[in-house]
Chain A
Amino acid sequence: MGNSEPQPIIVASELGKRVTAQGESLTILSGVSLEIKAAESLAIVGVSGSGKSTLLGLLAGLDVPTAGEIMLCGESLKQLDEDGRALVRARHVGFVFQSFQLLPTLTALENVLLPLEILGRPDARESVETLLERVGLSSRKDHYPSQLSGGEQQRIAIARAFVTSPSVLFADEPTGNLDAVTGATVIDLLFELNRERKTTLVMVTHDEALAKRCDRQIRLDAGQVVEA
């Protein structure tokens, strides 16, 4: 068994998500099942409104499905309450978002340090400095997000995502707010770090070229997997 295939790190079975909006019930996802192995990279593609981001949110434990079950890093998210899911996120998960989501009142360095502080490891300052150097922004560590360009902000966001050495990295349209050249640089960085640290990558994108760089793709249409 020792050299067998890596164990799946995320297992989703028969996921469904319905919401009620203005009195009408709306199905966003239905019958989605998938497995993602450790260190694998997966792209979730589809047109706007196909349910990509909803699926990402469910897999990351940011939201709960109305049907089905998710195992993330060996933990059943269904069994956990919101605080339990928060702990799973803190220990195993990193995020990169389309709109960067840096805290405007903290410097670049402090933004990267924040996940460590939440985990109670504020002493790991060295790894923060290393990561900042790795993303090429050690000279701008004391700058505030508003003083950085979009590409720089996203690189800080990537550093923040990797600083806790997560098992899984979720990326939601990481290049959506960037121009093509900057986007390419950021994506290169993301994949490099992913490889170096053997992190599982789950990325939502509508950029086919970007999707192709992942090991695997699934396509969503109207809340269902149409191509895996």
Chain B
Amino acid sequence: MHSQAFTVAMRLLRREWRCGELRILVFALVVAIAATTTISFFTDRLSRAMLSQSAELIGGDLVVTGTRPLQPEWLRSELASAFETAEVVEFSTVAVHQQNMLLASVKAVSANYPLYGELRVSPQPYTQDAAANTPPDPGNAWVDVRVLNRLNIKVGDSISIGSATFQVEKVLIFEPDRGSNFFNLAPRVLINRADLSRAEVLQPGSRADYKVLYAGADIKALRDWLEPQMGPGYRLTDVKGGRQGANQILRRTNQYLSLTSLLAIILAALAISVSAYRYSERHYDVSAMLRCLGATQATIVRVYLIQLCWLAVICGVLGCLLGWIAQEGLTTVLKNILRLHLPSAGFWPVVIGFVTGVVILLGTALPPVLRLRQVSPLRVMRRDLTPLPIRAWVVYVAAWLALSVLVMLLASEAMLIFMILAGVALMVLLLAGVTRLLIRVSQSGYSAKLGLLGRGLNRLAYRAKANTVQITAFAVTLMLMVVIGMLRSELLANWETQLPENVPNHFVFNVLPADKLRLQSYLLEKSGAEAVLYPMVRGRLVEIDDEPVTSQQSIQAGSVVNQPDADEAIKRELNLSWVEALPEGSQIVAGNWWCDESCDESKLPEVSVEEGLAERLDIQLQDTLTFNVAGQRITAVVSSLRTFKWESFSPNFYIFFPPGILDQYPATYITSFRLADEKRMTLTELVREFPSITVLEVDVLIKQIQRILEQVGTVIELMLLFVLLAGFAVLLATIQSSLDARLHEGALMRALGASRRYLRAINIMEFALMGFIAGLLAVAGAEIVNAYLYRQVFDLEPGAPGYFWLLVPCAAALLISAVGTWATRNTVRRSPMLLLRQFN
């Protein structure tokens, strides 16, 4: 009995494929599988890239830092030797060339450094840089251009550090793990770890940071082994601590991509569900005939199950193949970001693609198809006998469950996706209700006065139930397309504004007050932009709410461990600044920017604190902070907390005072400015003109981020294509679902004398109306969904531009009437006699 079901199933399937019955269903299923496969192939690689970005920024997957020399077994134990390791020692000391001396930040690194990323160096100052994958050889030093300027030396000259002499071999442009806290750094001298003992600068008690960088897979085991051995003065940092901008972009991209694939899946599921419903309706007669010829209910079920499984297999193969090709494309686009040795595309995404196909197909198509089992054989004589309709909720719950299972399989951020699924379910209910209402309104009798428009309205109302389903399907589809489209533009625009073409690429600090005005006009002349100079006064935070900071720090030890900046903020001197207006790139997140005199009740000066520092040290609004500035205590009350956009590349300060508090203390100034590549030689001139200043180039970092943005933008556009394809499948499937009724009606009307033109016109009018209504509902829905998505997930300001309310409905009216007219072209093309015979 099984084999005959198989024979019948395969024969019917083959024939139906040829007749085009299954095309939309197959198309939608292939799109869903391809989208899933692409994303799961790709996210694996992307998330590795993200981790490597973080790893680059801290120097390894796990980093041990201590103020005293590290235990040798941390490098040499069996566990540690399973990892790639590098040793780094950083300290401040004086670099000397003849009579000139400079306080330099020396970094001594072992031969394996850097584990992630690359060093960038140039043979001469301000010339083209190149990658270097190994540190300087013993005896050589790579130095910041500032070292050359300040010591007045050239590449090839020698400098002394402690009792050792080094030949300056290259200009150091970029270290991957240098961090973003640029202006706290003294000029860098990079030497080989092997030279450290020769230099004899580090004695017991000397202040230095000792680091071991680890790179490898099983960080957890290493962490568990190291953690109990960490005495005071040591800390562990892992990649999760990294919260840098580029990383954030990749994280958002990843979220966007999973969202995109999920929406493609939802849309495809919708298309499959609609096609399967029509498929089952068109198979009542076939099933009745099969029953009449003696097929049992079990045989009928088997026949259709076999068909569905075959479809899943065929679409699975096609979809996985497409997915593989697409992810290869994406990987090529992103090859510069993904410069780690990535494993080749594995087998797992193929499994996920197949499972997705089977789950979607069975979840959405099985309920309507199983209904065919209940078709009475008597239908062959009485066509009005249709099986009892399955309850709508059975279909929806089945589909929702199927999607939820998929989400659990696929989504890395299940909560987000569940929220979206719940949102979509809610939107479906809402849209169905509103659509019903609109159709009711169109039934109210005014339509007779409206000519062709009225005829379109009548047609809408005539098939109210079917049209409610159609418009809802259109609206959900358009809504998801609008959501993902808006999000794409918003993300890209947001990133673009974050890193505009003219973002500053140089920092200047140590500007003496006497040089301030002259430097300003000099920079205006050279870079063409007004530079804002911020005053900078060194001070130490000593008390928070009258509690000495050290105890606060110990309370916060848990959260401080992974935040190397936090204790530095306390341990070292902070740069304090003052400013009248909130600087560009900053945003108040709590409290208010400077009060005017009327609200100054505490009599204490106000202070604005960067949010991250406030979080780490548990500083609240209205807390009092006491600073030690040049031996004097200054107590101020926290009146606002600020965030700062790192991407603005303008100077940032943990602490801002209002003008008038710090003015009496010795200050230097800092600024950032943009210098076009071709003018870089003027830097030498600048440094000569203002001998006291320090110039720091951040060009390489900016270019790196710009490149990431560009490529990520391409990836996002490519993925949007899947959503558009799936959306298109829904449109076609939905229109096709009413095709029989339309063909029949069209044939009758033509038999009664309606011209093709007239028929075409009312078809267009009906579809355009549906499109317009669906478009309106879609924008409303997208606004609601985006309000959640933007704020909770992507840190963006929500709000569709106003013109969307006109653009989307009109575009939808155009699109749907075009697709609809094309899909129903047979109502005006095929002979009415043939059609009437077909429906007899």
Residues of B within 8 Å of A, CB-based: how many?
Answer: 34
A184 partner residues in chain B, CB cutoff 8 A: none
Determine which residue in A62, A88, A93 has the highest number of CB atoms from chain B within 10 A of its CB, and name it: A62
Interface assignment of A182: CB less than 8 Å from any CB of chain B: no
Interface assignment of A215: CB less than 8 Å from any CB of chain B: no
From 42 to 60 in chain A, residues with beta carbon under 8 angstroms from any chain B beta carbon are 53, 56-57
User: Is A110 touching B380 in the complex (CB atoms < 8 A)?
Assistant: no
- The chain B residue with its CB closest to the CB of A150 is B837
A110 partner residues in chain B, CB cutoff 8 A: 11, 15
How distant is the Cα of A118 from the Cα of B299 in the complex, in angstroms?
9
User: Is B376 touching A63 in the complex (CB atoms < 8 A)?
Assistant: yes
User: Is A87 touching B296 in the complex (CB atoms < 8 A)?
Assistant: yes
Closest CB in chain A relative to B398 CB, distance in Å: 25
Interface assignment of B412: CB less than 8 Å from any CB of chain A: no
User: Is A105 touching B19 in the complex (CB atoms < 8 A)?
Assistant: yes
Interface assignment of A23: CB less than 8 Å from any CB of chain B: no
User: Is A95 touching B292 in the complex (CB atoms < 8 A)?
Assistant: yes
Known: A62-B381, A99-B840. A83 touches B298 (CB 8 A): yes
| Stretch from B47-55, B283-291, B707-715 contacting the other chain | B283-291
Interface assignment of A97: CB less than 8 Å from any CB of chain B: yes
CB < 8 Å: which of A90, A99, A101, A172 contacts B295? A90
Dominant secondary structure of chain B at its interface with chain A: helix
Closest CB in chain B relative to A112 CB, distance in Å: 11
User: Is B297 touching A82 in the complex (CB atoms < 8 A)?
Assistant: yes
CB < 8 Å: which of A62, A86, A114, A146 contacts B378? A62
- The chain B residue with its CB closest to the CB of A82 is B297
User: Is B15 touching A62 in the complex (CB atoms < 8 A)?
Assistant: no
Interface assignment of B12: CB less than 8 Å from any CB of chain A: yes
Closest CB in chain A relative to B14 CB, distance in Å: 9
Interface assignment of A89: CB less than 8 Å from any CB of chain B: yes
B298 partner residues in chain A, CB cutoff 8 A: 83
B494 partner residues in chain A, CB cutoff 8 A: none
CB < 8 Å: which of B15, B292, B381 contacts A105? B15
From 68 to 95 in chain A, residues with beta carbon under 8 angstroms from any chain B beta carbon are 82-83, 86-91, 93, 95
User: Is B381 touching A97 in the complex (CB atoms < 8 A)?
Assistant: yes
CB < 8 Å: which of A119, A146, A177 contacts B294? A119
Closest CB in chain A relative to B104 CB, distance in Å: 83
Closest CB in chain B relative to A175 CB, distance in Å: 16
Closest CB in chain B relative to A5 CB, distance in Å: 29
User: Is B19 touching A117 in the complex (CB atoms < 8 A)?
Assistant: no
CB < 8 Å: which of A53, A99, A118, A122 contacts B293? A118
CB < 8 Å: which of A83, A86, A87, A97 contacts B380? A97
Interface assignment of B218: CB less than 8 Å from any CB of chain A: no
B291 partner residues in chain A, CB cutoff 8 A: 86
User: Is A89 touching B297 in the complex (CB atoms < 8 A)?
Assistant: no
Determine which residue in B1, B19, B294, B376 has the highest number of CB atoms from chain A within 10 A of its CB, and name it: B294
From 35 to 57 in chain B, residues with beta carbon under 8 angstroms from any chain A beta carbon are none
User: Is B289 touching A120 in the complex (CB atoms < 8 A)?
Assistant: no
**Contact flags A95-136 to B (C-beta < 8 A → 1, else 0):** 101010101111000100011011110100000000000000
How distant is the Cα of A95 from the Cα of B377 in the complex, in angstroms?
12
**Contact flags B2-17 to A (C-beta < 8 A → 1, else 0):** 0110011001100110
How distant is the Cα of A89 from the Cα of B380 in the complex, in angstroms?
14
B378 partner residues in chain A, CB cutoff 8 A: 57, 62-63
**Contact flags B263-302 to A (C-beta < 8 A → 1, else 0):** 0000000000000000000000110011111111111000
A57 partner residues in chain B, CB cutoff 8 A: 378, 381
B381 partner residues in chain A, CB cutoff 8 A: 53, 56-57, 62, 97, 172
User: Is B380 touching A105 in the complex (CB atoms < 8 A)?
Assistant: no
Closest CB in chain A relative to B744 CB, distance in Å: 15
User: Is B294 touching A62 in the complex (CB atoms < 8 A)?
Assistant: no
Dominant secondary structure of chain A at its interface with chain B: helix
How distant is the Cα of A3 from the Cα of B16 in the complex, in angstroms?
52
Q: How many A-B residue contacts, CB cutoff 8 Å?
A: 90
Interface assignment of B745: CB less than 8 Å from any CB of chain A: no
A90 partner residues in chain B, CB cutoff 8 A: 293-295
CB < 8 Å: which of B4, B294, B297, B380 contacts A101? B380
Interface assignment of B838: CB less than 8 Å from any CB of chain A: yes
Residues of A within 8 Å of B, CB-based: how many?
Answer: 33
Known: A83-B296, A91-B294. A118 touches B8 (CB 8 A): yes
Interface assignment of B21: CB less than 8 Å from any CB of chain A: yes
B12 partner residues in chain A, CB cutoff 8 A: 103, 105-106
How distant is the Cα of A62 from the Cα of B299 in the complex, in angstroms?
17
From 369 to 403 in chain B, residues with beta carbon under 8 angstroms from any chain A beta carbon are 376-378, 380-382
A101 partner residues in chain B, CB cutoff 8 A: 285, 289, 292, 380
User: Is B4 touching A62 in the complex (CB atoms < 8 A)?
Assistant: no
From 16 to 71 in chain A, residues with beta carbon under 8 angstroms from any chain B beta carbon are 53, 56-57, 62-63
- The chain A residue with its CB closest to the CB of B16 is A105
User: Is B293 touching A115 in the complex (CB atoms < 8 A)?
Assistant: yes
Closest CB in chain B relative to A227 CB, distance in Å: 23
User: Is B4 touching A120 in the complex (CB atoms < 8 A)?
Assistant: yes
User: Is A117 touching B299 in the complex (CB atoms < 8 A)?
Assistant: no
B289 partner residues in chain A, CB cutoff 8 A: 101, 103
- The chain B residue with its CB closest to the CB of A57 is B378
How distant is the Cα of A117 from the Cα of B838 in the complex, in angstroms?
26
User: Is B294 touching A87 in the complex (CB atoms < 8 A)?
Assistant: yes
Closest CB in chain B relative to A81 CB, distance in Å: 9
Closest CB in chain B relative to A100 CB, distance in Å: 10
How distant is the Cα of A57 from the Cα of B385 in the complex, in angstroms?
13
User: Is A86 touching B377 in the complex (CB atoms < 8 A)?
Assistant: yes
User: Is A118 touching B380 in the complex (CB atoms < 8 A)?
Assistant: no
User: Is B296 touching A122 in the complex (CB atoms < 8 A)?
Assistant: no
How distant is the Cα of A93 from the Cα of B295 in the complex, in angstroms?
12
- The chain A residue with its CB closest to the CB of B377 is A62
Closest CB in chain A relative to B224 CB, distance in Å: 62
How distant is the Cα of A97 from the Cα of B296 in the complex, in angstroms?
20
User: Is A89 touching B3 in the complex (CB atoms < 8 A)?
Assistant: no
Known: A62-B381, A101-B380, A103-B286. A89 touches B840 (CB 8 A): no
Known: A62-B381, A99-B840, A103-B289. A117 touches B296 (CB 8 A): no
**Contact flags B764-808 to A (C-beta < 8 A → 1, else 0):** 000000000000000000000000000000000000000000000
Closest CB in chain A relative to B10 CB, distance in Å: 10
Known: A83-B297, A105-B12, A106-B15. A117 touches B4 (CB 8 A): yes
B19 partner residues in chain A, CB cutoff 8 A: 104-105
- The chain B residue with its CB closest to the CB of A172 is B381
B15 partner residues in chain A, CB cutoff 8 A: 105-106, 110
User: Is A119 touching B4 in the complex (CB atoms < 8 A)?
Assistant: yes
**Contact flags B340-381 to A (C-beta < 8 A → 1, else 0):** 000000000000000000000000000000000000111011
Known: A62-B292, A101-B285, A101-B289. A118 touches B4 (CB 8 A): yes
Closest CB in chain A relative to B369 CB, distance in Å: 16
Known: A103-B286, A146-B838. A122 touches B4 (CB 8 A): yes
How distant is the Cα of A99 from the Cα of B837 in the complex, in angstroms?
11
CB < 8 Å: which of B7, B16, B380, B382 contacts A117? B7
- A93-B294, A117-B8 are known; give 7 further A-B pairs, CB within 8 A: A82-B296, A83-B296, A89-B377, A90-B294, A99-B840, A105-B12, A106-B12
16 pairs, A vs B, C-beta closer than 8 Å: A57-B381, A62-B376, A82-B296, A86-B295, A87-B294, A88-B294, A89-B294, A90-B294, A93-B294, A95-B292, A97-B380, A101-B292, A114-B290, A117-B7, A118-B299, A146-B834
- Name B residues whose Cβ lies closer than 8 Å to a Cβ of A: 1, 3-4, 7-8, 11-12, 15-16, 18-19, 21, 285-286, 289-299, 376-378, 380-382, 834, 838, 840
- Name A residues whose Cβ lies closer than 8 Å to a Cβ of B: 53, 56-57, 62-63, 82-83, 86-91, 93, 95, 97, 99, 101, 103-106, 110, 114-115, 117-120, 122, 146, 172, 177
Which 6 interchain pairs have the tightest Cβ spacing? A90-B294, A105-B15, A83-B296, A120-B4, A89-B294, A62-B378
